[in-house]
Structure 1
Amino acid sequence: MSTPTAAPDQIAETVIKLNAGWYNVVAQALNLDTSTFLLAQGTLGLQSNDSSGLYLMSDAVIPSASVAYLDPTGLSKRSSAYRMLLGALRSEGGTDLPAVLGDQYSRWLDYRDNWWKQNPTSTLTQATLFEQWADRMLNPGQKASAIAVFKQQANTPLIRALDALSAPAATQEFVRQDGERYRLFVYSANIEAARQGLNTGGQATIDFNSESMESRLQHTTVMGSASGFYDIFSASASGSFDQLNKQASESSLTVKGRIGQYSTLVTHPMDWFQSDEYMRAYNNKGADVWDPQASAGDWDSFFAQPNGQLARRLSQLVLVSDYDLTVTSHATYSQSQVQQITAEASGGVWPFFSASASSSHRTEYHHNDDGTLSVEHKLPKGDVQIWGANYQNAPK
């Protein structure tokens, strides 16, 4: 499904205000801190009965925004950024490998970085990878010397961190519906913890009205109050809802109902993430820590706000289950318009867009007696959705 990119300015501005108002209602209803809460737009469903959806979102590098389109498959990965960080650092102590390799040192770094980009979940150790490169690129005498030097440094914290990132236990295998196997980095946020948290979590009542909403945001960020969808109705590839979006944007919208379960789920990386190396990098900007010959990045590219790859981390996922919510557009619609929306609004109706055609919640369209349109969303108890995240800025 394509994301809308050419909505009229008036509609886009209306949706930005709606998103800000919806953000404030959700934050208040779920008792969330507006200085650290990011509301997800466009990816409601967990879409799995295992931990894969939670791991994917936990590993996402979230944008600096109050409301954002959060599809983890389209976001950078924290595990990849962390691997690049380790690739930008010099090893602690030991004989200096650059002095032994000379001009070949930068080629080794390029080979190593490219290997991990192409094989992000490989279990190859640093020593094995280096020997593989040395066997191809160095003459026998230089190869023996270089491998000996590398082994001298193999027990440094940096090399141990790199090996922990490639250890078999760093990732977990999952199987797609078509039988394809894939691996994801492991986080503390798993499906068992999610369900347990929801079972002991809170309940909430939702009562949103665009005519009385608070559209100011306490936490203003560089991406503003919206990113992703700028329409009321998200059309399929064949549908065009320009007039319907305009019609809806000129009338009020309400969202009313209940959330039977909600909670926040703490998520942190498991043993593959070595915080000592992360903090060594954050606390030092000099060439004694950062490798001047590495092309993986520098302090600013990883930690500078707001766009550093590790400038912030997702610390908690905001989860909901067991809800019944009705969105009503108080414009007047004809029967043919309702049929068009029902048939072609494959991405959903504001604010419940879905990144895929298969969503975990059930949707029913109702053409009311007064001509207004209501869309009822129901999520059964036991099914889990991610509605957003709490985050912390580096170095936390």
Structure 2
Amino acid sequence: MSATEDKMKDLNQQWYHAVVTGLDVDPETFQLAQGSTSLGGYTSQEIWDFLDVIPPATVNNYYQPGGLNRFSNVYGGVINNLNSQTDDAMKKLLKDKYVKWTQYRQDESKDPKSGEYKEDYSDFQLVKFSKWARNNVDKDIQTSGETILKQVDIVSVAVDKWFSANGKYAYTATANSLQASLNAGVSKSIQMDSETESTSTSNTWAKGSMEISQGFFSTKVSADWEKLTNSIDKESIQIKADFKQFTVLPASPLSTNAGLIEELQDYSPWYESEALLLAKNHNDKKVWRDRVPSWSDVFGSNGSLKRVITGLAFVDGISITLKLKVDIEDKHKDEFAASIKGGYFPFFSAEGEGGWVHETNFKDNGEVTITSTSQLGNPNIIGFIVKPFDEVYS
């Protein structure tokens, strides 16, 4: 680990400890959000993009949309790799025409506006089969097939819901519910002194494991960037952060139409917990097809689905004062100030993004005071509520 990485690891551990204390959140479930976490357009889709991340086993997480595992992708891979619970009976009944039926069923399922049977996914499959059977098999086979499909097949239900969502994987939290939650939120303050703040994060759910991917500044403005970072005395950093609103917004994958708020009326439920539990609890060929992903790929010791995000912690109306000791030559002060405007520890948000404004004040005694503000109406994600898969879906 380089000197810069070592310095940033200590600072991030101290900041995590200060955040947990100041916000009074549980280190057994809290993961610190770092990087640029301001909500841009403040839309429901933005919120869902965060909720859909499968979090790594670290106490902090730099959100990078293109490089993270997605719950919706893993879930879709699982349910589409399960054997239908009525497959054997339908195969025996339809014989050579079984493949044509399954292809028709999949094509029909892709339509998210499928008429009056959209609400009931068991009837959805049954109506599709009846429509197909009228033109492809005799009446007796149609009747037998309908009898088979009247049995509850949770795998087919899940696959129908998945395709009906048409790639739009909504969650129960929305932009409006976030605003309501923020309006009912409370003010909070965080204080950190690097001379006295603990660096211990061993009592967290991630056992202190930490991701270090940034220095003190968000951007490298010159070849002297690391020198500027290393010139900061990590033992003399003081932070005071005040938040006018703090709230934790719980959420889960959209699984039912019942009681949907207006914002979700145009989105089809896509998640079926019983199908995922069927997959989790049966590591055998009767349930799983012999292809990727396997049970071990998803639920094994190194599987892709160990943890899930069950909520997002938001702060809004932010005011930060950061004081530090740093030896900066006059010729580098403009460069240092420009680096601050590009974003810096611990929020890393550039000026202008999310309403952020940064000011740097140099003092003759070698101290630098940085003040940053983000006005109300620009919520920032400060953390994720992370829980083991088995605890949430059991």
| TM-score between both structures, scaled by the size of structure 2 | 0.76
Show the counterpart of 1:197: 181
Structure 2 residue corresponding to 1:43, chosen from 36, 43, 48: 36
Structure 2 residue corresponding to 1:228, chosen from 195, 206, 213: 213
- CA distances 1:74-132 after superposition (whole Å, capped 9, x unpaired): 31211111100112211112436788899x99xx99xx9xx9xxxxx9859999xxx9x
State the one-letter code of the partner of 2:375.
P
Give yes or no for contact 1:255–1:326 (8 Å, CA) kept in 2. yes
Give yes or no for contact 1:365–1:375 (8 Å, CA) kept in 2. yes
Cα 1:153/1:347, change in 2 over 3 Å: farther
Secondary structure, in 3 states, of the residue corresponding to 2:88? coil
Show the counterpart of 2:154: 157
Show the counterpart of 1:279: 277
Cα 1:223/1:24, change in 2 over 3 Å: closer
Q: Work out whether 1:386 is the aligned partner of 2:381.
A: yes
- CA distances 1:25-59 after superposition (whole Å, capped 9, x unpaired): 10111111001110011122111232222111011
Secondary structure, in 3 states, of the residue corresponding to 1:261? strand
Moved more, 190-199 or 219-228: 219-228
Show the counterpart of 1:136: none
Cα 1:28/1:122, change in 2 over 3 Å: farther
Q: Work out whether 1:299 is the aligned partner of 2:284.
A: no
Show the counterpart of 1:212: 196
Secondary structure, in 3 states, of the residue corresponding to 2:178? helix
Structure 2 residue corresponding to 1:308, chosen from 303, 308, 318: 303
Q: 1:95 and 1:361 mapped to 2: Cα distance?
A: 60
- In the TM superposition, residue 152 of structure 1 has moved relative to its aligned partner by 6.5
**What is the correspondence of 1:135-174 to structure 2 with a 5 Å cutoff?**
156-167=153-164, 170=165
Cα 1:223/1:33, change in 2 over 3 Å: closer
Q: 2:56 and 2:331 mapped to 1: Cα distance?
A: 39
Structure 2 residue corresponding to 1:370, chosen from 365, 374, 378: 365
Secondary structure, in 3 states, of the residue corresponding to 1:353? coil
Structure 1 residue corresponding to 2:239, chosen from 255, 260, 272: 255
Structure 2 residue corresponding to 1:95, chosen from 88, 95, 106: 88
- In the TM superposition, residue 212 of structure 1 has moved relative to its aligned partner by 0.5
Q: Work out whether 1:350 is the aligned partner of 2:335.
A: no
State the one-letter code of the partner of 2:239.
V
Q: 1:87 and 1:72 mapped to 2: Cα distance?
A: 24
Q: 2:147 and 2:304 mapped to 1: Cα distance?
A: 30
State the one-letter code of the partner of 1:12.
E
Identity level (%): 22
- Higher-Rg structure is 2
- In the TM superposition, residue 72 of structure 1 has moved relative to its aligned partner by 3.3
Moved more, 312-321 or 38-47: 38-47
Of Structure 1 and Structure 2, which has the larger fraction of its residues in helix?
2
Q: 1:122 and 1:252 mapped to 2: Cα distance?
A: 60
- Gap runs ≥5 in structure 1: 1-7, 116-120, 132-139, 172-182
Show the counterpart of 1:30: 23
* TM-align CA RMSD: 3.5
State the one-letter code of the partner of 1:226.
E
Q: How many residues align?
A: 345
Secondary structure, in 3 states, of the residue corresponding to 2:195? coil
| TM-score between both structures, scaled by the size of structure 1 | 0.76
- In the TM superposition, residue 372 of structure 1 has moved relative to its aligned partner by 2.1
Q: 1:65 and 1:238 mapped to 2: Cα distance?
A: 30
Q: Work out whether 1:70 is the aligned partner of 2:63.
A: yes
- In the TM superposition, residue 374 of structure 1 has moved relative to its aligned partner by 2.4
Secondary structure, in 3 states, of the residue corresponding to 2:232? helix
Secondary structure, in 3 states, of the residue corresponding to 1:233? coil
Give yes or no for contact 2:340–2:360 (8 Å, CA) kept in 1. no
Show the counterpart of 1:19: 12
Q: 2:112 and 2:381 mapped to 1: Cα distance?
A: 30
Show the counterpart of 1:137: none
